[in-house]
């Protein structure tokens, strides 16, 4: 254990499919506040094996709990020997600014996985650095895991997973997403968040747009995206066709699957999470 060990406070622990689901609280130097994350450690991690890690980024209004409680990922993660880490979706605390109108798509629960540059957000809303740097450092220092990483997410978290992987392909073996916000510079959710967090500089916005990044990248990190065709946010906010066009333009290895009848909910995620875990497991094994 490193000297950081005293920063971790175990909040809860539940045995699950021979492994353990645990919640921890710690003070984040990056975000300047106390944060919570959840980790599922499969049975293999209990007997001394350093297992690979899938980082899961959740969507608007979620915490570390939604995916862990609703997606049903632990059974297959246990079979595959895969740890799952789920951070919160934004900084939290009385000192952390929130949207004055208390809208669900800005402020608490809506960090958008960017490094904010505008006041009052810039002091705490550094979720990009937290996910890319601080959290993996913490996980790899204190848990029986390796540095083989994959990343995935849903909606706002799908946007986060894709942009983080595209900007840091050397840190991950694979990336996947459910219903990602694929082109945030051209949708209401993204425009509202980016204008608040990043200001009016469109060049900064482009750094967090998966479609624009994918169109320009030379990376070849395998990507899997699933989209429900009965998703109420499909045309206005998600725009998967822009991601598909970007992949064609750059030759990026994207698999984008469309599913009739499925919506934006965790019922959709639970239906196909097994495919995603198997996809990541194959890449992590290479």
Q: Which residues are marked as active site? A: 155, 231, 264
Q: How far is CA 26 from the centre of its chain?
A: 19
DSSP single-letter state for residue 122: G
Alpha carbon distance 156, 187 (integer Å): 12
Q: Look at residue 145 and give its three-state secondary structure.
A: strand
Asked if 246 and 214 touch (Cβ cutoff 8 Å), the reply is: yes
Strands 51-57 and 145-154, by their bridges, are parallel
Are the CB atoms for 65 and 46 separated by under 8 Å? no
Among 98, 275, 117, 283, residue whose Cα is nearest residue 194: 117
DSSP string, 106-166: SBTTB-TT-B--STTGGGT-BHHHIIIIIHHHHHHHHSSEEEEEEEEEETHHHHHHHHHHH
Tokens of 136: 């993996």
Count CA atoms closer than 13 A to 181's CA, side-chain side.
29
Token reading at 272: 């196909």
Buried b (16+ CB within 10 A) or exposed e, 153-168: bbbbbbbbbbbbbbbb
8 A C-beta contact, residue 207 and residue 167: yes
């Amino acid at each position: 254990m490193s000297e950081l060990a005293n920063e971790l406070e175990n909040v809860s622990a539940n045995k699950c499919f021979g492994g353990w689901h645990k919640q921890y609280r710690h003070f984040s130097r990056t975000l300047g506040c106390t944060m919570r994350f959840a980790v599922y450690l499969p049975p293999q991690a209990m007997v001394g094996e350093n297992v690979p890690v899938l980082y899961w980024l959740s969507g608007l209004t979620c915490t570390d709990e939604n995916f862990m409680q609703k997606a049903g990922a632990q059974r297959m993660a246990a079979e595959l020997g895969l740890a799952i880490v789920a951070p919160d979706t934004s900084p939290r605390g009385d000192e952390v600014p929130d949207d004055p109108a208390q809208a669900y798509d800005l402020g608490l629960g809506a960090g958008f996985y960017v490094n904010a540059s505008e006041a009052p957000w810039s002091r705490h809303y550094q979720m990009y650095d937290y996910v890319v740097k601080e959290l993996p450092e913490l996980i790899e220092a204190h848990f029986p895991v390796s540095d083989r990483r994959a990343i995935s997410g849903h909606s706002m978290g799908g946007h986060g997973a894709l942009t983080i992987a595209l900007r840091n392909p050397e840190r991950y073996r694979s990336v996947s997403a459910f219903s990602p916000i694929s082109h945030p510079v051209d949708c209401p959710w993204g425009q509202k968040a980016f204008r608040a967090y990043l200001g009016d500089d469109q060049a900064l916005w482009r750094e967090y747009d998966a479609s624009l990044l994918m169109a320009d990248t030379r990376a070849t990190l395998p990507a899997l995206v699933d989209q429900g065709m009965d998703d109420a946010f499909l045309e206005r906010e998600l725009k998967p066709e822009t991601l598909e066009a970007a992949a064609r333009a750059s030759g990026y290895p994207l698999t984008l699957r469309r599913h009739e009848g499925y919506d934006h909910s965790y019922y959709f995620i639970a239906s196909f999470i097994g495919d995603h875990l198997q996809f990541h497991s194959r890449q992590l094994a290479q």
